[in-house]
Chain A
């Protein structure tokens, strides 16, 4: 099986790897939309979706009803509904851009995955090797660059719909995303000032950031969220704004804009916008985990290599690269899913900002804070890291 895979053309290998990751990301996007419904129900003290069930699962005595109450099969029901609903195309829209917009929404979300490392394994020499589709030197710049193209789906959807509310949503989205991109980029600079210590080759790689959080010692094993709390806070707030999540979902704003940019959309095109939103959240949470939450390290001050050295004496299979790889992916995904739960928790707890408040927070509070943070860490790092 592995020999057959390795004998294939590199391009075919790349396509297969890409498809594998997309096949994980796309369903997670769908499951997140389900989780959102369930989490909102728990927060508001309702049972939430608890009806859909596949016939032969309902025959299982205890587990069947439990899964039904958990609402797990609503993912299938929702997906099927969106896929088979009549896909109406309003007569007043610009058809080309109208159809293009949901596709444009998906493309950056799935392209950025290539440069985000999602796990690691230990090779024969005991070195930690990150798992990623393309572990490039400029990892974070690539994520930001391609991710920033996501705004065009909102602008195009708003403009092509050719009606007032979507148009306002599109205008809001373009202004908001540009405003918060500045703080987002500035907030991660201290991290890269720190990991580009004198004498090391310059890098913007995300796996290098994780390496720096798995060093021995008190300062070495410290996650950057403790070392640079302000950076983490600014990054998280800007991430909420960039992924158009509550309390920053100005482009949607159903209280004042009906549905914002997607008012005129229905069926699967509408569904694509939502899968794309969750895919963006997934990538954003992944980057946050890698930069500030130690990536695939299980606990602060406990790196993956340390964990494996604890597990290895128990059973030889526990130190196998395959097991370690799966374990590290599990740890990473666990942190990402916890962050996505945090996104949902905030959405159902905090009221939405007004648009002037969004601009005020972005330009007058977050941007000065991130600049001051950068200057502080630049000075501190210059003192600590001497040549």
Chain B
């Protein structure tokens, strides 16, 4: 087992353990920090797969900004996270269906998921700037535009929902 393989396994372990920590932690701040560690683990996986650009973009956008925003919201709302009224009132049927969906998804991935042969030899698109940008503006132009539009809709929705109906926004 080479150094690369050991590193890959270490990052897999880090990712899985911290991802479990996100779900299992009762304290919201702990969960957010576990999410941060999971993201660092995933970006480590990208490095092990030679996709350096993706690794650093993931760190920049998700670890650097999104999780910091999560923490900001958690701290602003001062969420304790020890009372979970919503989850306790879930009917049994809903829990069974949700668990079944998750298990079904994982099972179908394990049964039918196949890595295409010989793809591993090609250089990763996410390794350098130019091939990545080229793919973004040719093959994946439509998905990028659609996603951008979705995010815009979400942003406008948030602004519309969070605006106070009348009066000055913040008189203080």
* Chain B: number of interface residues, binned into ranges: 20 to 34
* CB <8 Å contact, B72 and A175: yes
Is A137 close to B, CB under 8 A?
Answer: yes
Is A138 close to B, CB under 8 A?
Answer: yes
* CB <8 Å contact, B52 and A138: yes
Which residues of B are found within 8 Å of A174, using beta-carbon distances? Answer: 68-69, 71-72, 75
Which residues of A are found within 8 Å of B152, using beta-carbon distances? Answer: none
Complex-state Cα separation, A151 to B69, whole angstroms? 11
* CB <8 Å contact, A141 and B60: yes
Smallest CB gap from A170: residue in B: B75
Which residues of B are found within 8 Å of A175, using beta-carbon distances? Answer: 72
Q: Which of A144, A151, A167, A202 interacts with B75 by CB under 8 Å? A: A167
Complex-state Cα separation, A148 to B64, whole angstroms? 5
Complex-state Cα separation, A201 to B133, whole angstroms? 12
* CB <8 Å contact, B68 and A145: no
* CB <8 Å contact, A145 and B64: yes
* CB <8 Å contact, A204 and B75: no
Is B57 close to A, CB under 8 A?
Answer: yes
Which residues of B are found within 8 Å of A170, using beta-carbon distances? Answer: 75
**Shortest Cβ gap from B60 to chain A (Å):** 4
Which residues of A are found within 8 Å of B75, using beta-carbon distances? Answer: 155, 158-159, 167, 170-171, 174
Smallest CB gap from A185: residue in B: B60
Smallest CB gap from B78: residue in A: A167
Q: Which of B53, B57, B68, B128 interacts with A178 by CB under 8 Å? A: B68
Which residues of B are found within 8 Å of A149, using beta-carbon distances? Answer: 59, 63-64
Smallest CB gap from A205: residue in B: B129
Smallest CB gap from A192: residue in B: B129
Complex-state Cα separation, A156 to B68, whole angstroms? 10
CB within 8 Å for A145 and B128 given contacts A136-B52, A177-B68: no
22 A–B contacts, CB within 8 A, in A order: A137-B128, A138-B56, A138-B128, A141-B56, A141-B57, A145-B57, A145-B59, A146-B59, A148-B63, A149-B59, A151-B68, A152-B71, A155-B75, A158-B75, A159-B29, A159-B75, A171-B76, A174-B68, A178-B65, A201-B128, A202-B129, A202-B130
Give chain A's interface residues, CB within 8 Å of chain B: 136-138, 141-142, 144-146, 148-149, 151-152, 155-156, 158-159, 167, 170-171, 174-175, 177-178, 181, 201-204
Give chain B's interface residues, CB within 8 Å of chain A: 29, 33, 36, 52-53, 56-57, 59-60, 63-65, 68-69, 71-72, 75-76, 128-130, 133
Known: A155-B68, A175-B72. 12 other contacts (CB 8 A): A136-B52, A138-B52, A138-B129, A145-B56, A145-B63, A148-B63, A148-B64, A149-B59, A155-B72, A171-B72, A174-B75, A177-B68
